[in-house]
A and B are shown apart, each in its own frame.
Chain A
Amino acid sequence: DADVTQTPRNRITKTGKRIMLECSQTKGHDRMYWYRQDPGLGLRLIYYSFDVKDINKGEISDGYSVSRQAQAKFSLSLESAIPNQTALYFCATSGGQGASYEQYFGPGTRLTVT
């Protein structure tokens, strides 16, 4: 679904480096999410945002921060990357009150921390 895009698609970085993953959407959705996917662990919620002024921690927010720069943009930062943050990261969006509950995922960013 080209309506949700993520950059970069792949990234290799070193321990201790700061890195930012970006997500943009053209679906006009209010709600945006960041998940990480690890083999055998499913998708785990890192942060989510109702709208530009609302940021909420998910299940595994330690070591991560986010910024909602605009309704269409939601960025995830790793302030000081560590190897166990190596994972596949997905951004997702969903509509506002009264809309479908479906979450639309971006293509993912594969992050490797060495």
Chain B
Amino acid sequence: GENVEQHPSTLSVQEGDSAVIKCTYSDSASNYFPWYKQELGKRPQLIIDIRSNVGEKKDQRIAVTLNKTAKHFSLHITETQPEDSAVYFCAASKNQGAQKLVFGQGTRLTINP
């Protein structure tokens, strides 16, 4: 089955700097890659997603890039702010009807003022 590896497990950056989180997946049939953000004590929420027919997607300060050949995708956050501090999860799916997502292990991002 699918396996998703996420790195780093923790990341600390200065406010205003950029943050990058990387994920690799094992199943070349996967074609949907969402990113979820989980603030402390809260539920995970979707922040951005990308499908395999697109190489990059951007939404204000966040962007996701996908390299299908290498089977990896990354989350980029620019101009980081304190409210970006959270745990971020990547996931992959083959989009077979029900969205059976396989999640990475998570990255705890801390923004230092």
Query: Are A and B subunits of one complex?
Result: yes
When the two chains form their complex, are residues B34 and A102 in contact, meaning their CB atoms are under 8 A apart?
yes
CB nearest neighbor in B for A50: B98
A31 to B95, CA, bound (A): 13
How many A residues touch B, CB cutoff 8 Å?
25
When the two chains form their complex, are residues A103 and B43 in contact, meaning their CB atoms are under 8 A apart?
no
Query: A31 contacts which chain B residues (CB < 8 A)?
Result: 98-99
What is the minimal beta-carbon distance from B6 to any residue of chain A, in angstroms? 7
Query: A50 contacts which chain B residues (CB < 8 A)?
Result: 97-98
What is the minimal beta-carbon distance from B96 to any residue of chain A, in angstroms? 10
> Which of under 10, 10 to 19, 20 to 34, or 35 or more describes the interface residues of B?
20 to 34
Out of A45, A48, A103, name the residue touching B46 (CB < 8 Å): A103
A12 to B37, CA, bound (A): 27
A10 at the interface (CB under 8 A from B): no
CB nearest neighbor in A for B6: A42
Instruction: Give chain B's interface residues, CB within 8 Å of chain A.
Output: 1, 6, 9, 32, 34, 42-46, 49, 89, 91, 93, 95, 97-106
The contact sample of 13 A-B pairs, CB cut-off 8 A, is A45-B102, A49-B98, A50-B98, A56-B98, A56-B100, A58-B100, A94-B98, A101-B34, A102-B34, A103-B46, A105-B43, A105-B45, A106-B43
